[in-house]
Structure 1
Amino acid sequence: MRIIFTIAHFFKPSGEGRHASQRKDPQPRLQALTTSLTTLHQLFGKSQSIINIAQRLALPANQPQSHEIDIVICTTKDNHLLNQLALPSHLYRHHSSNAEPMLLAFECQAVLQSCLGQYDYYCFLEDDLIIHDPWFFIKLDWFTQQTGDLNLLQPNRYEVSSHALVHKAYVDGDLALRVTAPFQNVQQQQELNGAIMNARITFRRALNPHAGCYFLNANQMAQWASQAYFLDRDVSFVGPLESAATLGIMKTFQIYKTSPEQASFLEIQHFGTGFLGLIGGQVGLVER
């Protein structure tokens, strides 16, 4: 299988520093991007081996689940940290642009569109997202085989900490119905149910479809790219950042996420503790 990942990467220190990409210290952003890149290659690339001790040989491992992957990092102007990445340059390609920073995800969409017909999966991630599940694409493929290409499964985004009130928190919980009502009707096929490894699993229409990423198979990418609104740069969902990442797929597909009871079925880590740290302060904690 061939997979293309596009990553929107931006860093420019600002006195305001509302987003992690605007803070003074570049190290957290460098660490996040480095981990994201290396993990994609380690989980999904073909360079995986098992050491046969008796033969003193490193033999291929996980080959049926490994893929040919390309990673394209989309930046704007000189506002990036690629020249500080301590990684071999062949692990990614650099796509430079003059896009507005909050609209870089649209630049990623243009890159994906230019590659139509060349890949089996077309993916977008913000530069602080990290996948840890080697069965990630197996799960996505299983879901679409069961439910059809017009249904899109989004991962649950989470943060972790050993020092906060909660060790792990999923950060994209439900929005008020009115926020996404102009773009989706969650009353249609509200819930899908399946079974995997003898465990029942529930998928629900997402009141918050945002995850800072998406993973589309070839049919889904072609379907989206054929829509009149593709690349229209509509920013009417929450804000420019959220719209660029999520509005187009919300208009095109019925988006599902697994229920809170099974949130970890498909998940992706958001680097840092910006949301998790709100628990106990701006966000109340309900005890078990």
Structure 2
Amino acid sequence: MSAENNTKRKVMHFIFLQIAILQEISRVATRYTKMMFFYQRNRMINLFKENEQPKKERPKVFAAVAHITSVEESNNPEKAAAKIERLRHTIDGLLTSLAHCDLSITIQTLPNRHVTAYLPEYQIKCIDIQESPECDPMFVGFRLQEEFVERVEEFDWFLFIEDDIVLYDAFILEKLEKFNLQSGYENAILYPHRFEMYQGTKRYIDLTIDDHLSWNQLSSVEIETVKFAECSNPHSGFYCLSRKQMKEWIKSGRLFKNQVVNVGPLESAATFCIMECFSIYKPHPSNLNYFEVRHYDSKYSKLYPEPESKYTLSAVNNSSNIPIVKDS
């Protein structure tokens, strides 16, 4: 009986040895096959490469930057260092996000009230500086609108941006076009949310500074799972209108131009004067980051530092102020 058990044990060991050998051969063969497929990857791509597609017509975008500094800052780059950095980032944001477009950038300013001379050489070459000596410094945003009106037939899109706002979105035109076509409202336009980054925390400042912020549930819309709504503080320091929308605005008579209709002249020019013709939407709180711009500053975060606001986001848990000390 012992000899029989020993024979069975040897047979079983032999069988499992064969299985183990086959498994190892299979594992090595699989690895070898994967490596061979990997090495053939570029050949396969070239074999089935897509034919050259006709180049899509590049959208023509007219971006106008409202920019004013003090005379002292204009004449002293050291005192204007912060303003120079902000404007540089604003222009870089436009050049990056709209690199696939035919882009024209105008800096709307006043004589001896700007820091464009201190910008990098590549930026100076791609901007048009327009000084309007007859314009009140606080009303530059309104003067900028006249440029849009005068050049309405030359461009497809008209983008207004303040000199401390940075755009990080190469799909901005696609998002705007989709909203314009599918919102269901002829007079609806889409604004981005404006945020600041302060001590690693992202604050949607136009939503945190308003103690009585509210959203219009009745007129909210949803487009391909993304929600949009009107809110009581639509300001962003930024807007982008299509040629069709610009013509609608012109047709309305623009009765609010050069008028302080809410808050102040800067906010009126950037947002509230447009509301005579359009209803302004922003991404709903359920998808705040769908369309956003950065306010390249932290002043509102310091003035309104509510860490518990639902419009204040952080990628890390800041619930405890106790520092974590790692053992050395």
TM-score by length of 2: 0.69
Q: Residue deviations 1:264-284, cap 9 Å, x none?
A: 00000000111112344xx46
Larger proportion of strand:
1
Aligned residues of 2:222 and 2:228 also touching (Cα < 8 A): yes
1:97-108 correspondence runs (5 A):
97-98=132-133, 99-108=135-144
Q: Larger C-alpha radius of gyration, 1 or 2?
A: 2
Q: Where does residue 271 of structure 1 map in the other structure?
A: 296
The Cα shift of 1:40 comes to: 1.2
The Cα shift of 1:261 comes to: 2.2
The Cα shift of 1:13 comes to: 6.4
The Cα shift of 1:83 comes to: 1.3
The Cα shift of 1:2 comes to: 0.3
Higher RCO structure (Cα 8 Å, ≥6 apart): 1
Within the candidate set 111, 116, 119, 1:85 is matched to 119
Task: Note closer, same or farther for the CA distance 1:25–1:260 as it changes in structure 2 (3 Å cut).
Answer: farther
Larger proportion of helix:
2
The Cα shift of 1:249 comes to: 1.4
Within the candidate set 203, 222, 229, 1:169 is matched to 203
The Cα shift of 1:207 comes to: 1.1
1:53-68 correspondence runs (5 A):
66-68=100-102
RMSD across aligned positions (CA): 2.6
Within the candidate set 223, 235, 239, 1:194 is matched to 223
Structure 2 gaps of 5+ residues are 1-58, 311-318, 320-328
Give aligned pairs, total. 246
Q: Where does residue 210 of structure 1 map in the other structure?
A: 235
Q: Where does residue 192 of structure 2 map in the other structure?
A: 155
Aligned residues of 1:73 and 1:92 also touching (Cα < 8 A): yes
Task: Note closer, same or farther for the CA distance 1:286–1:108 as it changes in structure 2 (3 Å cut).
Answer: closer
Aligned partners of 1:42, 1:205: CA distance in 2, in Å?
29
Aligned residues of 2:97 and 2:169 also touching (Cα < 8 A): yes
Percent identity over the alignment? 25
Structure 1 gaps of 5+ residues are 18-23, 46-65, 181-185
Q: Where does residue 90 of structure 2 map in the other structure?
A: 36
Task: Note closer, same or farther for the CA distance 1:156–1:245 as it changes in structure 2 (3 Å cut).
Answer: same
Q: Residue deviations 1:212-240, cap 9 Å, x none?
A: 11100011011112222356311021111
The SS at the match of 2:206 is coil
Aligned residues of 2:216 and 2:229 also touching (Cα < 8 A): no
Aligned residues of 2:108 and 2:144 also touching (Cα < 8 A): yes
Aligned residues of 1:5 and 1:69 also touching (Cα < 8 A): yes
